[in-house]
């Protein structure tokens, strides 16, 4: 088979479409013939040499895919060869075939195209686990999503609206904010021109955001804490604004607030399996009903992964950028 390899870390040109050995499904695993994968920020970091795969994972980038089951390993039940699936991966999605723990498989939702299903696993699992399983967003509460036009952001907007929450988003252009509004966002904040602390305070009558989904880390830490409502929950899922910041514990005590930080890729298979099961139970019916949908900016051939990485790094896209396998 062919896969995108990274012989040496570097820029987008470091991604090489090369012939590699076929993977083989082991105990509790299935082999998926990949139809499409999606580009995530973690893939960019891996290409740059800053985010190595966890032990035992495929060395090739790609944290999600869609495709068809090609073979089933020992100890797997409930799936058959030929099933159309999408999957949460620890790596290996930028390839023609990938091995997946059976618990990280999802059926392609009714009404969703097989290629576009590749845009779903990582964002659905990240949003559901952080916003709902950990932060317990409830109907009537306010969710602030930083990077509202990203893959994560577009999914967070839709899921929060589906459960009856109010949604505030930050984005850097008018076009991106308009797309967020089309998905249901109520409070639109251009972070280049507006202070999100003041905007959320005004929009909520001084109450603040009950849950904040943050991809910036250190740069936004103090302002995020100031934006939280009483009993608010800050969920940090990215470090685009740095890894080290000063935390005002006094402000947390005053607000009886909580700060959590999680990553998905390195979690044990058992934890990922539980998250995938929750996503299948709660998110997949919303997709089948048309209340939530994948948001895809463009589809490129997998051999053009370098171009896809350039698009993602320039941050001009909205939703996900997909790589389609030959």
- Domain assignment present for residue 126? The answer is no
| Statement to judge: residues 156 and 208 lie in one domain | yes
- CATH classification of the domain holding 170: 3.40.50.720
Looking at the fold, whether 30 and 53 belong to one and the same domain comes out as yes
| The predicted structure's pLDDT at residue 161 | 98
Q: How many domains does the chain have?
A: 2
Q: Are residues 249 and 273 in the same domain?
A: no
Supply the CATH number for residue 274's domain. Answer: 3.90.180.10
Residues 215 and 307 in one domain: no
Who's near 64: CB < 8 A, 6+ residues apart? 37, 38, 40, 86, 87, 88, 89, 93, 118, 119, 120, 121, 122
In a domain, 274, yes or no: yes
Q: Do 34 and 102 belong together in one domain?
A: yes
Q: Please indicate, yes or no, if residue 193 is contained in any of the structural domains.
A: yes
Which range marks the domain in which residue 67 is found?
1-121+264-322
| Residue-level pLDDT at 271 | 98
Residue 58 lies inside a defined structural domain of this protein: yes
pLDDT of residue 66: 98
With a cut of 70, list the residues of the chain below it in pLDDT.
Answer: none
Among residues 24, 96, 46, the alpha carbon closest in space to that of 66 is found at 96
The answer to whether residues 93 and 145 belong to one domain is no
- Which one, of 209, 213, 226, lies nearest residue 166 by Cα? 209
User: Does residue 245 form part of some domain?
Assistant: yes
Q: What is the pLDDT of residue 282?
A: 98
Q: Are residues 248 and 209 in the same domain?
A: yes
Q: Are 165 and 138 in contact (CB under 8 A)?
A: yes
What is the reported pLDDT for 61?
98
Say yes or no: 302 and 254 in one domain: no
Distance CA 217, CA 229 (A): 19
The answer to the question of residue 128 being in a domain is no
Q: What is the pLDDT of residue 288?
A: 97
State how far the Cα of 242 lies from the Cα of 301, in Å rounded to an integer. Answer: 32
């Amino acid at each position: 088979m062919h896969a995108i390899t990274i012989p040496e870390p570097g820029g987008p040109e470091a991604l090489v479409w090369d012939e590699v050995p076929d993977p083989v499904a082991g105990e509790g695993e299935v082999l998926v013939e990949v139809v499409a994968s999606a580009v995530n920020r973690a893939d960019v970091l891996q290409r740059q040499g800053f985010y190595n795969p966890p032990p035992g994972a495929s060395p090739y980038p790609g944290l999600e895919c869609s495709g068809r089951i090609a073979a089933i390993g020992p100890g797997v039940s409930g799936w058959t060869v030929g099933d159309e699936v999408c999957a949460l991966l620890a790596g290996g999605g930028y390839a023609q075939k990938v091995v997946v723990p059976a618990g990280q498989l999802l059926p392609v939702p009714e009404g969703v195209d097989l290629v576009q299903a590749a845009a779903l696993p990582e964002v659905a699992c990240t949003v559901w686990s952080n916003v709902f399983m950990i932060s317990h967003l409830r109907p009537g509460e306010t969710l602030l999503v930083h990077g509202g036009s990203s893959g994560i952001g577009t999914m967070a907007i839709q899921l929060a609206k589906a459960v009856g929450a109010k949604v505030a988003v930050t984005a850097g252009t008018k076009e991106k904010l308009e797309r967020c509004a089309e998905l249901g966002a109520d409070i639109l904040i251009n972070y280049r021109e507006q202070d999100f602390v003041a905007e959320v305070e005004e929009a909520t009558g001084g109450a603040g955001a009950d849950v904040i989904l943050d991809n910036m880390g250190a740069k936004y830490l103090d302002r995020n804490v100031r934006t939280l409502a009483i009993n608010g929950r800050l969920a940090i899922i990215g470090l685009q604004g740095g890894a080290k910041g000063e935390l005002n514990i006094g402000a947390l005590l005053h607000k009886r607030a909580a700060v959590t930080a999680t990553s998905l890729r390195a979690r044990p298979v058992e934890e990922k399996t539980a998250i995938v099961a929750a996503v299948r139970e709660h998110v997949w019916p919303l997709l089948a009903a048309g209340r939530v949908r994948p948001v895809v900016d463009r589809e490129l051939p997998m051999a053009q992964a370098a171009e896809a990485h350039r698009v993602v790094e320039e941050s001009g896209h909205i939703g996900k950028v997909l790589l389609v396998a030959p």
